Structure 1
């Protein structure tokens, strides 16, 4: 590689060398930096679908004598988000004097997450969101900004025109609708960029969580619904520039539409694609339930050549930016991003660390007579525990995904020789048939018709032991296997009664670390033996929940599902 050429734009800035005779890079260097909080690797990306960004200027032809002279290191190194890098490259080229062969400014297209890991750091950084500057500050790197950002561009939900009616009816989009459509398979595919590397990914994840939280009061359920979209992604590390490049090469509108599907992009990227007159036309709009802006701050590192960096900023004109499809002002009504970068990075890490697992659930419901007793829920209603359970169960049933296998038992004996529990829904895939109905429908019908048995005892401990043993035999790789037990009281009143120490001894004796079966124990009302439920949950790696509201059960199951999907 000639000495005056910029290296592969996928790489961080090279270390400057003291001599002019620099050796070529023999191989691409990939820097993997583990995040202290998340333990996740950040990869580097380049502007593969955008304009090339090697030298910042196109030097005039050099004489044979001139071409033998190596160029000195650039005085100013600039890292810019890929979509704005060509505009900055053009401005940098205008700083060259007539006949000047070597540029003082080198511009490189780098995704913001990659700049955080680069060594040395660039002199000037133009990320696609000011949020990255806050992330850098939290890591001990400070960048000085003067004045407002260079430009703005709201995120849009985009996709081929052929499937626009599916995700953008009436040319309107929303994050919540996209999540619902993905969960119900009403869109062919959804792609999302890496939220720990790209602004489009980072802000999309934040906006999805915010949009769903506004219409879902329970935080646990809201998180699960947001992760439902994550679980349905065709590609969770899709580079938007790659997606657009794929569409530019497409020759079949319909095939390309269903292969690519729906994806977030900046308005600028969508506008630039449409102006190019590509065969496959796109539609897209900022989501009505969460407009979020990418902004482009001009940030300078301490010690950078001050005069040259000022000249470069002055050379980046509003006309050039708006001509490239950027906005000159922030979008009205756009979400205000949190000042604490962790509020953005937390959900992003959760998405990046998500792993797809199937669920196997055994739902065990207390059918003893005490479930007919009345309690007051959090809203002040006077309801029976059975009513609360029916409402809770119906809500929880909707949370189980299509990749869930499920069975349901009732426990509670009304006679001296009665069994500890009876099977109400046979175990099997939720989307398969049982007794002539889809198992999900059968589950909902059984819970809806639930009626406790008067004067029935509560064989709680025996039922838990049997349920854990049953599900332990079903444990398999990449599958979360859990037992959910719903009860209002304590073990007793049956021939299966045992002391808590005896129960815990038997539960621990049957534990198998290679085949874990967590117990999610839900106690209804003030009479539930929460200490016992907490003990059985703790020893199995599950959790105990006190339920005085229909949302409590669903929230607890949602949190358990989120934990099961987290990478260990």
Structure 2
């Protein structure tokens, strides 16, 4: 019996009843016994109550009845952490667990906070972390170029190669015999063999940044003309189902699929890291992924542990030591670089430049009139990048075949050749009538006719160059095709200057006619490509500026395809 259940010790331990000289009757005896029990209970209760009331005012704990919420004590808020860490989402959980081992037993507040954030987002944030673990060392160079210096502490924590993956049921389309390639991804997209292709934002994610770089490297290597390779890379960009997906969200979307065929269309093919692939497969989702690192451009995501100046050095060092190789490998990372992986450029601009182009690309309906110089100077011989002696015209024919495949299905286009083989010749001839690229003209699909006409391009010797008149006519033509939410442009390619024809006019007259009476709503930008060292770039720059377009110098005639690619990109990235 507890103390609170026992009578006060000053009360008698027992109560003696005075007994009469004779025994009471049995009924009375039972009544007396009952009365005695009642008295004992009352005395005991009275003793307890007396003790409680005489406890000198000291409150007694009542565990079965907690105090009101208004009087309950709340713990003080935790102070600001001493070390702030930003880490790529896939490695952040490993670092978070390591940070937990630094706390003392019973310690409620941690000295380290870890935030899972994509590198581009971390770099753009106003407040910078003390420790940064992006998913590529390339981001440290990018940060330095923007005045934010982080110093890597030793070798990267981990590595993980990029893979091209998709639903297992469609692996034969993008990974024949279990092998993948960037050029295969490009060709599969151009030829419409793949239901959908998606790419993470290259300005925010390492997967997107490295994939864009690797694609450009692979297509350039696969083609003798780097410009054609750039055209192919841009073709993939123009036909992406989505160019700014979140890798983590994309895997979450895939995890929610129950049918592999449906997943092929709703999610499709995309790049992720090997670590993300292994984590997905380990979870055992209904739709399994298949894929491999691309054979024509393996590239590693690596995870540097970098600190900024002024960060708590001792705590940062302790945290790095707490991140073990065992924890990283258990999470699906590698502890060494992939043999033969692409070496990334030291200049961060070589990575960020293409990434910004891709991110700035606008997937809008595209209306374009191609106007190609067919004057005699296009028959001049030049030396291409492989050392061949060719003509400017032959290079244009080769590049044009690739250009015909560049335009998306929502494109409307037309093509003119301009040049005057005779004094009375018109300034230009219509080779492909303007209209939808999937529409028919002359008994052929417009895309096929475009390729055929460029393939048959033959400039006439001694033909003049009615450049200005052709531009005026082309701009006037396309003003009649202007549509809301569509990119409507004129692309003109020339290797010379206006002259040698009855259409010749002064620069002042041309610009006056080009801009006279034109409202902003009726403005058609001119994308002018100067082809070769003799192109009149000042004149091209003036017409581009007057119309809100862009002038592009392809000074080496072997760079023609690159010039066409830049013109295409400029049309899709106009503000």
TM range, normalised to the smaller chain?
0.7 to 0.9
Greater percentage in helix: 2
> Which residue is 1:377 aligned to?
382
Q: What do residues 545-568 of structure 1 show as CA deviations (whole Å, max 9, x unaligned)?
A: 67874x444332221111122252
- What is the 5 A alignment of 1:79-478? 79-118=86-125, 120-216=127-223, 218-365=225-372, 370=376, 375-379=380-384, 390-391=397-398, 393-411=400-418, 419-450=426-457, 460-477=467-484, 478=486
8 A contact 2:220–2:227 mirrored in 1: no
2: CA distance between counterparts of 1:544 and 1:301? Answer: 41
Mark the CA change 1:308 to 1:539 in structure 2 (over 3 Å): closer, same or farther.
Answer: closer
2: CA distance between counterparts of 1:251 and 1:185? Answer: 24
Q: What do residues 20-43 of structure 1 show as CA deviations (whole Å, max 9, x unaligned)?
A: xxxxxxxxxxxxxxxxxxxxxxxx
Q: What do residues 275-326 of structure 1 show as CA deviations (whole Å, max 9, x unaligned)?
A: 1111111112111122111111222333333333322222221111111111
Mark the CA change 1:281 to 1:301 in structure 2 (over 3 Å): closer, same or farther.
Answer: same
1:109 Cα deviation from its structure 2 partner: 1.7
User: 244-253 or 445-454: which moved more?
Assistant: 445-454
2: CA distance between counterparts of 1:303 and 1:525? Answer: 53
Q: Aligned to 2:242, what secondary structure does the other structure show?
A: coil
User: 340-349 or 534-543: which moved more?
Assistant: 534-543
User: 355-364 or 343-352: which moved more?
Assistant: 355-364
Q: Aligned to 1:236, what secondary structure does the other structure show?
A: strand
> Which residue is 2:13 aligned to?
none
Q: CA RMSD in A?
A: 3.4
Q: Aligned to 1:264, what secondary structure does the other structure show?
A: strand
Q: Aligned to 2:561, what secondary structure does the other structure show?
A: helix
> Which residue is 1:32 aligned to?
none
Of the three residues 459, 473, 487, the one matched with 1:479 is: 487
Q: What do residues 226-264 of structure 1 show as CA deviations (whole Å, max 9, x unaligned)?
A: 232222222222111111122222222321232111111
User: 390-399 or 195-204: which moved more?
Assistant: 390-399
Q: Aligned to 2:258, what secondary structure does the other structure show?
A: coil
User: 134-143 or 287-296: which moved more?
Assistant: 134-143
8 A contact 2:498–2:504 mirrored in 1: no
Mark the CA change 1:163 to 1:536 in structure 2 (over 3 Å): closer, same or farther.
Answer: same
1:416 Cα deviation from its structure 2 partner: 7.4
1: CA distance between counterparts of 2:413 and 2:464? Answer: 25
2: CA distance between counterparts of 1:385 and 1:120? Answer: 53
Mark the CA change 1:331 to 1:451 in structure 2 (over 3 Å): closer, same or farther.
Answer: closer
Mark the CA change 1:510 to 1:544 in structure 2 (over 3 Å): closer, same or farther.
Answer: farther
Q: What do residues 308-366 of structure 1 show as CA deviations (whole Å, max 9, x unaligned)?
A: 33222222211111111110111111122222322222222222222123333333456
Mark the CA change 1:562 to 1:128 in structure 2 (over 3 Å): closer, same or farther.
Answer: same
- TM-score normalised by structure 2 residue count: 0.77
8 A contact 1:406–1:430 mirrored in 2: yes
User: 373-382 or 192-201: which moved more?
Assistant: 373-382
Residue 509 (1) aligns with residue 516 (2) = yes
8 A contact 1:247–1:280 mirrored in 2: yes
1:481 Cα deviation from its structure 2 partner: 1.7
1:224 Cα deviation from its structure 2 partner: 3.7
Q: What do residues 198-236 of structure 1 show as CA deviations (whole Å, max 9, x unaligned)?
A: 222222222222222323454554444323222222222
> Which residue is 2:16 aligned to?
none
1:389 Cα deviation from its structure 2 partner: 5.3
2: CA distance between counterparts of 1:386 and 1:92? Answer: 65
2: CA distance between counterparts of 1:289 and 1:422? Answer: 43
1:437 Cα deviation from its structure 2 partner: 0.8
1: CA distance between counterparts of 2:124 and 2:396? Answer: 51
User: 141-150 or 511-520: which moved more?
Assistant: 511-520
1:269 Cα deviation from its structure 2 partner: 0.8
8 A contact 2:415–2:432 mirrored in 1: yes
8 A contact 2:478–2:524 mirrored in 1: yes
1: CA distance between counterparts of 2:518 and 2:246? Answer: 44
Mark the CA change 1:249 to 1:408 in structure 2 (over 3 Å): closer, same or farther.
Answer: closer
Mark the CA change 1:120 to 1:429 in structure 2 (over 3 Å): closer, same or farther.
Answer: closer
> Which residue is 1:57 aligned to?
none
Mark the CA change 1:416 to 1:560 in structure 2 (over 3 Å): closer, same or farther.
Answer: closer
8 A contact 1:521–1:533 mirrored in 2: yes
2: CA distance between counterparts of 1:296 and 1:227? Answer: 29
1:121 Cα deviation from its structure 2 partner: 3.0
User: 72-81 or 169-178: which moved more?
Assistant: 72-81
> Which residue is 2:51 aligned to?
none
1:183 Cα deviation from its structure 2 partner: 2.8
2: CA distance between counterparts of 1:452 and 1:117? Answer: 51
Mark the CA change 1:308 to 1:230 in structure 2 (over 3 Å): closer, same or farther.
Answer: same
Mark the CA change 1:277 to 1:520 in structure 2 (over 3 Å): closer, same or farther.
Answer: closer
8 A contact 1:520–1:557 mirrored in 2: no
> Which residue is 2:551 aligned to?
543
1: CA distance between counterparts of 2:277 and 2:86? Answer: 22
Mark the CA change 1:149 to 1:393 in structure 2 (over 3 Å): closer, same or farther.
Answer: closer
8 A contact 2:230–2:562 mirrored in 1: no
Residue 75 (1) aligns with residue 43 (2) = no
